[in-house]
Amino acid sequence: MHQANLITTRREGTVLVVTVQNPPVNALSVNVRHGIIEAIKHAQNTAAITAILLTGQGKHFIAGADINEFSRSPQAPLLPEVCDCIEASKKPVLTSMSGATLGGGLEIALAAHFRVATPSATFGFPEVTLGLIPGAGGTQRAPRLIGIKSSLAMMLTGKSINAHEALSIGLIDHLNQSEDALSNGLRFIQTLVKGEINIRRRADVKISSKDLEKATLALDEARQGSKAIGTSFGATQALIEALEGSITLPRHEGMARERALFLQCLGSPERSALVHVFQSERKVMKLPSEFHGSARPINSAGVVGGGTMGASIAVCLLNGGLSVVLIEQDNDRLETGLERIRSILQHLHSRGRMSKQEHEAVLQRLQGATDYIALSTVDLVIEAVFEDIVVKKAVFERLAEVCNPKSILATNTSYLDINEISSGLSRRSDVLGLHFFSPAHIMRLMEIVVPQSTSKDVVASGFELARRLGKIAVRSAVSDGFIGNRILANYRKAAEYMMEDGASPYQIDSAVRAFGFPMGPFQISDLSGGDIGWAQRKRKAATRDYRERYVPIADRLCEAGWFGQKTGRGYYRYTDGKRIGEPDEDVLLLIENVRREKGIKPRSFTDEEIIRRYLAAMINEAANVVDQGVAERPLDIDITMIHGYAFPRYRGGPMKYADDYGLDKLLADIREFALEDAYFWQPSNLLQERVTTSGLFEDLNN
């Protein structure tokens, strides 16, 4: 056996078996690239070798380029060279694939002369989700194998296809029955050894004029729709251009165009932001080693309260394979809650997101009760009753009495102090916050709120549960609104101040959308219902700091009964049950009245200034949240805001955005705004410290 760094080679008769061994996902790091080239060259120079089988050790064949290398200067040999070397081999090269074959991994497979796969194998070009395009001939070889239409479909969405689809579009030559990639490959390669099939190189394939016409049409269509697809607009455009090269240019020029566009994307801020998000999504889910292995088993759960949140949390748990008991105050409310759950499940089933068997099995695992005794054997309880400390405390006292001593007691509170909810309980170490976002069965974010008294195994169990439910979990300490809602409260205020000072809610929403959020703050308010915030403001009125500027516009809307979509009017007017509202003159009049009462002379704002203020308020409070240890690192903020509040992913989250924008510039903005309102615009200590030391938020992530 010959060991070349992360590649092993061995002989099986006249076949050279080349195995990539670069755990966890066989990424194409420089030593892997080097090892593959060495192995191919070795085969060319060894007369006894008649064919080469390339395969991967472990779960996946190859998950693409090594993402960690993107921010360093590239080291030779580069991937295009590896692919060219494979394609040019005089001896047939077969790739036998299992698990994921992604990005550069799929480009290697396309450069090989033949491809076989196991039944569970998947294939994809996820580059666009990282702000990139395939950069090792993928945009030139794929159209010559599967055509432009399938190439576009795979590359523009970044979504993987399964082995059956891959066979049907001609991406693989053969689909095996067994999951053993090595023996599948060895079996298939015998046909090549015997010379029954000739070598087929993608480079030799010419696109016919008929195909050319169809391909041009498909590209035009993609160009027209390209704004709506992909997570990175720059990469989407580059992708279409590179694919076009495969039909309009001689091959070597097409390759050169692809390379130039790839390098352009590699250097873009979108790429850097998207890779930051990819890596941060994995980092947030990792707990320090002292937590490892201590999670308690969770197979059954209770949900207390079958309202909006309780019902959708129950759906999450059921979908995650748990059995669920729903608890409500009385039989009528219980039936309403169960019906809410059943109707979400029915909807998922009718949309094809759940098979008939899964639907039936899930319903079997659902029960309801009005007596808390039904919770005596469950492993976990999630409380989702009214946002009222008295009601929540009473529920937890009852839970502490009836639940078994190993069970975990969680609350889904949005704002309340979990230390207070659990005060007086004998088992405070079992209590934590599991803050889901609405609708819980769709939103991926979950804040795991950890009071100081919570034991490590309970925290570890929260993260294990998140993994099982397919959620992205972020750890938060107890704080008013935890990470996300606390930051939201601050940038919402900035939006309201701008509205009172002269910008219309419609201009603010539009500027925020142009930045990349799907909705502006006033549209969101109309969607979630103004009454919730109104009640919260009334509760807090007595304790509000006298220095805080208060904008009464939202209260005036509520006093008029305009709660948003559900009442047909809010900041917008919703006619005929439409979900997209129209600007409302009456609302503008109401705002003008408030300005007049307060003696505010309205001024104009540019969209650019709106965004500067909106984001400065967001980032400044986020810096406080990190500084006070509520969020562990800046990256926890980025993931919270992307997955819970729709911050545009391609901008990397507010802290990454702040680093790119310039922290000194941001601090100067805040100081400028503070000239008008020094109480609201107090620069965060952490932001000031970063500027003084010329550091970045990024430096605090590791």
Catalytically annotated residues:
107, 127
Q: Does 640 bind ligand NAI (CB under 6 A)?
A: no
**Closest of 478, 476, 483, 481 to residue 462, by C-alpha:** 476
Q: For residues 639 and 654, what is the distance between their CA atoms, to the nearest angstrom?
A: 9
Q: Does 79 bind ligand 3HC (CB under 6 A)?
A: yes
DSSP characters for 223-281?
A: HHHGGGSSS-HHHHHHHHHHHHHHHHS-HHHHHHHHHHHHHHHHTSHHHHHHHHHHHHH
Q: Pick from 36, 382, 385, 446 the residue near ligand NAI by CB under 6 A.
A: 385
Of 531 and 555, which CB lies nearer to ligand NAI in the complex structure? Answer: 531
Q: Pick from 66, 107, 328, 584 the residue near ligand NAI by CB under 6 A.
A: 328
Instruction: Pick out residues in 6-25 that bind ligand 3HC (CB under 6 A).
Output: 24-25
Q: For residues 141 and 180, what is the distance between their CA atoms, to the nearest angstrom?
A: 27
Of 39 and 121, which CB lies nearer to ligand 3HC in the complex structure? Answer: 121
Q: For residues 67 and 25, what is the distance between their CA atoms, to the nearest angstrom?
A: 11
Q: Does 78 bind ligand 3HC (CB under 6 A)?
A: no
Least distance between ligand NAI and beta carbon 443 (Å): 9
For 50-204, where are the E strands, in sequence order?
51-56, 93-97, 100-102, 114-117, 122-124, 161-162, 174-175
Q: Pick from 104, 368, 654, 683 the residue near ligand 3HC by CB under 6 A.
A: 104
Q: Pick from 55, 160, 412, 422 the residue near ligand NAI by CB under 6 A.
A: 412
Count of C-beta atoms within a 10 Å radius of residue 555: 17
Least distance between ligand NAI and beta carbon 621 (Å): 19
Of 83 and 421, which CB lies nearer to ligand 3HC in the complex structure? Answer: 83
Of 107 and 526, which CB lies nearer to ligand 3HC in the complex structure? Answer: 107
| Nearest 10 degrees: Cα torsion 634, 635, 639, 645 | 20
DSSP characters for 513-582?
A: HHHT-SS-HHHHHHHH-HHHHHHHHHHHGGG--TTS----HHHHHHHTT--BGGGTBSSEE-GGG-SS-E
Q: Does 239 bind ligand 3HC (CB under 6 A)?
A: no
**Closest of 387, 131, 386, 372 to residue 235, by C-alpha:** 131
Binding partner selected for residue 68 from ligand NAI, ligand 3HC, none, CB under the kind-specific 5 to 8 Å limit:
ligand 3HC
Of 79 and 449, which CB lies nearer to ligand 3HC in the complex structure? Answer: 79
Q: For residues 406 and 297, what is the distance between their CA atoms, to the nearest angstrom?
A: 10
**Closest of 218, 257, 222, 19 to residue 137, by C-alpha:** 257
Q: Does 682 bind ligand NAI (CB under 6 A)?
A: no
Q: For residues 327 and 320, what is the distance between their CA atoms, to the nearest angstrom?
A: 19
Of 124 and 451, which CB lies nearer to ligand NAI in the complex structure? Answer: 451
Q: For residues 258 and 125, what is the distance between their CA atoms, to the nearest angstrom?
A: 14
Q: Pick from 384, 512, 641, 658 the residue near ligand NAI by CB under 6 A.
A: 384
User: Using CB under 6 A, which of the segments 96-104, 424-432, 501-509, 511-519 binds ligand 3HC?
Assistant: 96-104
User: Using CB under 6 A, which of the segments 64-72, 198-206, 323-331, 514-522 binds ligand 3HC?
Assistant: 64-72
Residue 177: phi and psi, rounded to 5, are -85, -30
Q: Does 478 bind ligand NAI (CB under 6 A)?
A: no
Pairing of strands 122-124, 174-175: unpaired
Tokens of 222: 């993609």
| Sequence-ordered alpha helix ranges (H) in 22-137 | 30-44, 79-88, 104-111
Binding partner selected for residue 634 from ligand 3HC, ligand NAI, none, CB under the kind-specific 5 to 8 Å limit:
none
Binding partner selected for residue 310 from ligand 3HC, ligand NAI, none, CB under the kind-specific 5 to 8 Å limit:
ligand NAI
Residue nearest to ligand NAI (CB): 307
Instruction: Pick out residues in 123-162 that bind ligand 3HC (CB under 6 A).
Output: 126-127, 130, 132, 134-136, 138
Q: Does 679 bind ligand NAI (CB under 6 A)?
A: no
Binding partner selected for residue 299 from ligand NAI, ligand 3HC, none, CB under the kind-specific 5 to 8 Å limit:
none
Binding partner selected for residue 309 from ligand 3HC, ligand NAI, none, CB under the kind-specific 5 to 8 Å limit:
ligand NAI
Residue 118 and residue 163 in contact, taking contact as beta carbons nearer than 8 Å: yes
Binding partner selected for residue 130 from ligand 3HC, ligand NAI, none, CB under the kind-specific 5 to 8 Å limit:
ligand 3HC
Binding partner selected for residue 136 from ligand NAI, ligand 3HC, none, CB under the kind-specific 5 to 8 Å limit:
ligand 3HC
Q: Pick from 62, 362, 395, 616 the residue near ligand NAI by CB under 6 A.
A: 395
**Closest of 28, 227, 271, 284 to residue 129, by C-alpha:** 271
The sheet that has 445-449: what strands, in order across it?
Answer: 366-369, 323-327, 300-304, 380-383, 408-411, 431-436, 445-449, 472-476
Instruction: Pick out residues in 173-232 that bind ligand NAI (CB under 6 A).
Output: none
Residue 380: phi and psi, rounded to 5, are -150, 140
> Which residues are at the interface with ligand 3HC (CB under 6 A)?
24-25, 27, 60, 63-68, 79, 100, 102-104, 107, 126-127, 130, 132, 134-136, 138, 282
> Which residues are at the interface with ligand NAI (CB under 6 A)?
304-310, 327-329, 333, 337, 384-387, 391, 395, 412-414, 436-438
